Structure 1
Amino acid sequence: MPATSRTTTVLITAIAPAVWGSTYLVTTELLPPGRPLLAALLRALPAGLLLVALTRRLPQGVWWWRSLVLGTLNIGAFFALLFIGAYRLPGGVAATIGALQPLLAVGLAAGLLGEKLTLRPVLAGIAGVGGVSLLVLRANAALDWLGVAAAAAGAGVMALGVVLSKRWASPAPLLATTGWQLVAGGLVLLPVALAVEGAPPAGLTAGNLAGYAYLTLFGTAFAYVLWFRGIRALSPTNVTFLGLLSPLVATTLGWLALGQSLTPWQILGGVVVLGALAAGQLRPAAARRSRASNVRSRSHQHPHAPQPRQYAR
């Protein structure tokens, strides 16, 4: 993939975690309290049904069970574990544990995709965890071990979902495969939400409906299409490092919209997060040398010789 095209792909993919960073603000300001699983269900299932209706395409063959597995990992299990961790832990602790996702993806990509395990992404992943902890962690944060386990498992299933999404490249259009995963994840969440929280509350306000609509259309349908588009074009390591944008955007929105203060340590944490995110997008030196060698080789070909076609990753 040409450098300019790759940079554009990274920037477009980064919109997804940036949008997800607004979830905390929308949830706290617009949604009814105490219904996190309902919010997750209403994010996933309507968005998935909308995309399936637009594409008018259903899975075929192995993509029935693959969509269920990927939808459970990327949506159903991830959302449930995310909200369990968020409810049982201070937000800073949950976000810090969630920042382990790039490190987990590095290891899984090496094992499942054969990507070479190098020191740079490992160090960048450690820096990302440290930066997020400076950004959001508080000294008096209390630990609940069930919450810690849920947050860690959430990071793990999301990392595995991203890697498997790369391993199982779907021949179907992007909107269709995104819709299949969202529907599968929503159906996994449906019995859990009903069993834990019961039926949706009566008398939802206009603000509640606006919040749910935002999370469904922008926070899920729009954002996940961009996210899965990035997975198709980039490595899982590149994509998961972009997830570090979420706590950064959430903290920035809290400062801008809610008047929350920023300490020097938080500002330092934000700088470290941006540095880790940028380091996570760098190609391995061997890949850069290989690309440069290919460019030089093509430049020495006869000017009228047929040129090889270029395909995006």
Structure 2
Amino acid sequence: MSRTTDILLTALAPAVWGSTYLVTTEALPAGYPVTMAALRALPAGLLLLAFTRCMPPRAWLGRTFLLGSLNFALFWVLLFVAAYRLPGGVAATLGALQAMMVILMARGWLGTPIRAGAIAAAAAGALGVALLLIGRDAALDSVGVAAGLGGAASMAAGTVLSRRWQPPVSALSFTAWQLTAGGLILLPFALILEPALPPLTTMNLAGLVWLGLIGAAASYALWFRGVARIEPGAVSMLGMMSPLTAVLLGWVVLGQSLSPLQGLGAAVVLGSVWMGQRANRPSAGIRPITKVVPTA
């Protein structure tokens, strides 16, 4: 399969994640962030485990729970904290710094060279997200900023380590392991920190099904498949499609306005994603990782 096809398939994941804000605000009960995160991860993970019938070997349990924490449990909780304490545009802009973090982490953990074009693309992408989302009334909160940066770092580390630790199983099984681990980590915190859920409506259940099956199981399987086949810096730039999709859905579905400045930001984001794919293209003779037999 060509690199272009791999990129397009991987880009579907953050495009789907862009629907999370719309579904969360319009279809889910408010005030249960950890519970909603657990219900998004654990049922989807268990369903995928039943489908793939592939359990992680004992040697992979530590890595699985670490990745499940970085990519899901810790990331989603910090994301909710940032969203509650910061304007959405500020939180999304901090999240967009993930691409820069991936480039630096990939250098240390994978030996990937740092290219000037990749740095420029990541910086341009963050600027584009800022133009797209930050309003004049944007305010900063120290806890919110720390959560936003922590969430970006958590997902960045999870992306790079998912590339480094490739088990000899399918992307669907790898996703099942991590989703289940992340959900198991979140479950006790949800039970302790939040009150019991009210009776769920049909709309609530539909929102959870979308976020679990499509927004978690299917999209993350595509994401981890891309992580294994595409350069980490290129994969991380595709994450810029998430805030862009969120804005477009707000415009189309909710009738929200789209200013000329936001239009410019959208163009900058798309340009940075394209530039990031070119700048992170591997040197001749280097092939993407597909399967690596784990070592102790």
Tell me the TM-score normalized by structure 1.
0.89
Structure 1 distance, partners of 2:49, 2:9, is 22
Q: Give, in angstroms, the shift of residue 75 of structure 1.
A: 0.7
Q: Secondary structure at the match of 1:169?
A: coil
Which residue in the other structure is 1:255 paired with? 251
Q: In 2 relative to 1, CA 285–105 (structure 1 residues): closer, same or farther, beyond 3 Å?
A: closer
1:106-153 Cα distance to aligned partner (Å, 9 max, x none): 000011000011111111111111000000001111111101100100
Q: 1:239 aligns with which of 235, 238, 246?
A: 235
1:246-285 map, 5 Å: 246-283=242-279
Q: 2:35 aligns with which of 35, 38, 41?
A: 38
1:179-258 map, 5 Å: 179-201=176-198, 203-258=199-254
Structure 1 distance, partners of 2:289, 2:188, is 40
In the comparison of the two structures, how many residue pairs are matched?
290
Structure 1 distance, partners of 2:160, 2:288, is 21
Structure 2 distance, partners of 1:195, 1:143, is 29
Q: Give, in angstroms, the shift of residue 159 of structure 1.
A: 0.3
Structure 2 distance, partners of 1:122, 1:311, is 21
Q: Give, in angstroms, the shift of residue 256 of structure 1.
A: 0.4
1:53-202 map, 5 Å: 53-201=50-198
Structure 1 distance, partners of 2:2, 2:74, is 33
Structure 2 distance, partners of 1:165, 1:263, is 38
Letter in 2 for 1:95: A
Which residue in the other structure is 2:21 paired with? 24
Structure 2 distance, partners of 1:27, 1:61, is 36
More deviation in 147-156 or 59-68? 59-68
Structure 2 distance, partners of 1:186, 1:39, is 10
Which residue in the other structure is 2:8 paired with? 11
Letter in 1 for 2:267: V
- Contact 2:118/2:279 (CA < 8 Å) preserved in 1? no
1:18-69 Cα distance to aligned partner (Å, 9 max, x none): 0000111111111111112222111100000001111111111321111011
Give the fraction of aligned pairs with identical amino acids, expressed as a percent: 53
1:51-100 Cα distance to aligned partner (Å, 9 max, x none): 11111111113211110111110011101111111111111110010000
- List gaps (5 residues or longer) in structure 2: 291-296
Structure 1 distance, partners of 2:232, 2:288, is 18
Structure 2 distance, partners of 1:143, 1:172, is 43
Structure 1 distance, partners of 2:194, 2:271, is 40
Q: Secondary structure at the match of 1:281?
A: helix
Structure 1 distance, partners of 2:272, 2:93, is 14
Structure 2 distance, partners of 1:72, 1:256, is 34
Q: In 2 relative to 1, CA 284–125 (structure 1 residues): closer, same or farther, beyond 3 Å?
A: closer
Structure 2 distance, partners of 1:311, 1:211, is 35
Q: Secondary structure at the match of 2:73?
A: helix
Letter in 2 for 1:234: I
> Over the residues paired in the alignment, what is the CA RMSD in angstroms?
1.6
Q: Secondary structure at the match of 1:282?
A: helix
Structure 1 distance, partners of 2:104, 2:88, is 26
Q: Secondary structure at the match of 1:170?
A: coil
Letter in 1 for 2:180: V
- List gaps (5 residues or longer) in structure 1: 295-309
Q: Give, in angstroms, the shift of residue 311 of structure 1.
A: 7.9
Q: Which runs of 4+ in 1 moved over 6 A?
A: none
Q: Secondary structure at the match of 1:62?
A: helix
Structure 2 distance, partners of 1:192, 1:84, is 14
